[in-house]
Structure 1
Amino acid sequence: MKKVYTKLFYILPVLALLIFYACKPIASKFSSPAGYDLEKPDKFNMPESLLEISGITFYKGQPDTVYSIQDEDGKVFRQKWDIKDQKNVRFAAKGDYEDIAIIKEKIFVLKSNGHIFSFPFAEAVKEEAEQVKHSKGLIPKGEYESLYADEESSKVYILCKSCPVDKKKKTATGYVLNYKAEIDSLIPESTFSIDLEQIKTMNSKLKASLSPSALTKNPKTKEWYILASANKLLLIADENWKVKAVHRLSSSLYNQPEGIAFDKDLNLYISNEGDELTNGNILKFKYTAPGK
């Protein structure tokens, strides 16, 4: 009997520890910006026509209709939330189209080579846009996937995915264009740069590299939200492009994150391209005020 008690003396503490750790919640290696839980989305699966969905946006932040593109057809798609049926307007021939923005009653679409297509928002309900403008040479040659347009300032922001200017530097360069509605023209204004070494200061396990796939601005905090599909990262920067946080994204949830946008209620949306096994989708993250 004494031997039995002796064995129990050693076994019980071990069992207690096993039970403790089995019951203890496992800390996630993924984080989220304040107000959002990037691991608990409302998922909207896309139809086959939007398997390769890329950029997404809203008209004046109104969440009733999502406007999107996919990176093969020169079309802008529109859908009601959670309704697969889509309608579209053709604005150009097939090509590699990466992002979309709407300001001043104008739709802008970014092609991967830096060309910008634009046409009146009123033509979004047509089968084919008639007043299409194709702008070239506004920014240097390179590969681009990120476009954001600010309604208040009329400024359009484009961020390099891979550009010669960044080839030997740990930077991501961007360009600011000013949209002059009265002459329907984009005027080059300035440049900006993100120091990618800041990523390592946020997380020493990450590399000082980034291949931006989408760009937007938080309407409340004015922070930049920069998505990187290949890196599976969401980078948060302040108004001056100083990196404030870097959030890793789970590959099981984010197949190929290519688009990002906010609606007027501060809800966050991230679109993912699909593949042979996975539907394209848009993930919605409802905003919750910190402390609630």
Structure 2
Amino acid sequence: MATFLQQIGLLAMLSFSLGGCDSTKKEQVVYKDYDLEKPDKFNMPESLFEISGIALNQGNPDTIYAVQDEDGRLYRLGWDHPKQFNAKFSKKGDYEDVTILKNNVFILKSNGLIYNFPLSEAVFQEVEQIREYKKILPKGEYEGMFGDEVTGKIYILCKNCEQDKSKNSVTGYVLEPDKDSTQVSGTFSINVDEIKAITGKVERGFRPSGLAKNPLTNDWYIISAVNKLMIVTDSQWKVKEAYKLNGNMFIQPEGIVFDKQGNLYISNEGDDLFSGNILKFKKISR
């Protein structure tokens, strides 16, 4: 009998030990440049409950620019200062992202329409010098846009487009804005198989909601609210890394931007239980 009890005890200890190793392994997940479990959190005021896109001017973190997906307003506010100011640029609609390029504001509507006006107009209650670029992009649903100060180009990723098979690839478009017009000058694509090779199955295909370029590495960071995923690609759009996002922290990640120090900001639209927020992840020093 004693021998039998000893065997039971040994099995229990072994089971506990294996369980402990499993838990420890999960706790030891290390992200290459950012600890995605330890952000500084900035809860949004009620006006930005449905925050959908964020931008910084030339990577300066002093002022955060934002849009939300119902009001045609560009919001601006300081980190951890809930008082916001805004400039009306259009009527109500589904606005998904904002970027600032060469002192010009570009705002992306979900149907691919783009609004453009000088950044200097953002200090007024209503924008006057505004242009609309229609039918530049193929028919589809768009959420992610980034203006690159270095190249002078705008990069837009399709979330759900007829010409794409999101289980295989996602198409992006390169725009070169000028004073007279803005046209597509090139395309790129994200190979979903490269994501699957890292994370396994990608449910419902890959549906990106935001993208930004890391100024320190020139890598692209792309988030997906649908997939609860962040991927990292090199400058040629080859997938290098993929991180599953904690749904308790990343409620609905839709906006992404870096400051000039390489700190990462991700905005989340709110829901019935949580207000919208912006999470800041400091660059890990090595």
Tell me if TM exceeds 0.5: yes
| Counterpart pick for 1:270 among 256, 266, 269 | 266
Q: Is 1:250 the counterpart of 2:246 in the alignment? A: yes
Give SS of 1:188's match.
strand
Structural RMSD (CA):
2.2
Which of these residues, 93, 96, 106, is aligned with residue 95 of structure 1? 93
Distance 1:30 1:12, change over 3 A: closer
Q: Take 2:28 and 2:201, find their aligned partners in 1: how far apart are those partners?
A: 13
Q: 2: CA distance between counterparts of 1:241 and 1:202?
A: 15
Q: What CA distance in whole angstroms lies between the structure 2 residues aligned with 1:41 and 1:76?
A: 25
Amino acid in structure 1 at the alignment position of 2:281? F
1:169, 1:243 → 2: CA distance? Answer: 15
In the alignment, which residue of structure 1 is the partner of 2:218? Answer: 222
Counterpart position of 2:283: 287
Distance 2:55 2:251 in 1: 19
Is the contact made by 2:48 and 2:68 (CA closer than 8 Å) also made in structure 1? yes
How far is 1:229 from its partner?
0.4
Q: In the alignment, what sits opposite 2:172?
A: 174
Q: Which residue of 2 aligns with 1:124?
A: 122
Where in structure 2 are the equivalents of 1:52-201 lying within 5 Å? 52-167=50-165, 170-180=168-178, 183-201=179-197
* Alignment gaps of 5+ in structure 2: none
Whole-Å separation in 2 of the counterparts to 1:273 and 1:128? 25
**1:28 to partner: Cα distance:** 2.6
CA distance in 1: counterparts of 2:134 and 2:30, whole angstroms: 37
CA contact under 8 A between 2:171 and 2:187: conserved in structure 1? yes
Relative to structure 1, the CA distance from residue 238 to residue 189 in structure 2 (aligned partners, 3 Å threshold; closer, same or farther) is: same
Counterpart Cα distance in 1 of 2:167 and 2:249:
31
Question: Contact conserved, 1:90 with 1:129, CA < 8 A, in 2?
Answer: yes
CA contact (8 A) 2:167 2:205 kept: no
| Ranges of 4+ aligned residues in structure 1 off by more than 6 Å | none
Q: CA deviation at 1:164?
A: 1.2
Deviation at 1:185, TM superposition (A): 3.1
Secondary structure at 2:25 match in 1: coil
Q: Deviations over 1:215-248 (max 9, x none)?
A: 1111111111111101101011111111111110
Q: CA deviation at 1:187?
A: 2.8
Separation in 2 of the partners of 1:200 and 1:161?
17
Larger radius of gyration, structure 1 or 2?
Answer: 1
Measure how far apart 1:125 and its partner are.
1.0
Q: Does 1:209 align with 2:200?
A: no
Corresponding letter in the other structure for 1:138: I
Per the alignment, do residues 238 and 31 of structure 1 end up closer, same or farther by CA in structure 2, a change over 3 Å counting?
farther
Distance 2:270 2:159 in 1: 20
Gap runs ≥5 in structure 1: none
> What is the match of residue 240 of structure 1?
236
Q: Is contact 2:39–2:281 with CA below 8 Å preserved after alignment?
A: yes
The TM-score with structure 1 as length reference comes to 0.90
Using the alignment, how far apart are the partners of 2:75 and 2:30 within structure 1? 29
Map of 2:32 onto structure 1: 34
Evaluate the alpha carbon distance shift between residue 118 and residue 31 of structure 1 in structure 2; reply closer, same or farther with a 3 A threshold: farther
- For 1:81, the aligned partner's letter is W
CA distance in 1, matches of 2:155, 2:143: 11
Separation in 2, partners of 1:75, 1:31: 39
1:191 and 1:32 mapped to 2: Cα distance?
33
Q: Distance in 2 between matches of 1:93 and 1:213?
A: 22
Question: Could you tell me how far apart the structure 2 residues matched to 1:19 and 1:29 are?
Answer: 16
Sequence identity percentage: 49
Task: Report the Cα offset of residue 14 of structure 1.
Answer: 5.4
Count residues with an aligned counterpart.
285
Separation in structure 1 between the aligned mates of residue 29 and residue 135 of structure 2, nearest angstrom:
39
- Aligned equivalents of 1:281, 1:269: Cα separation in 2: 10
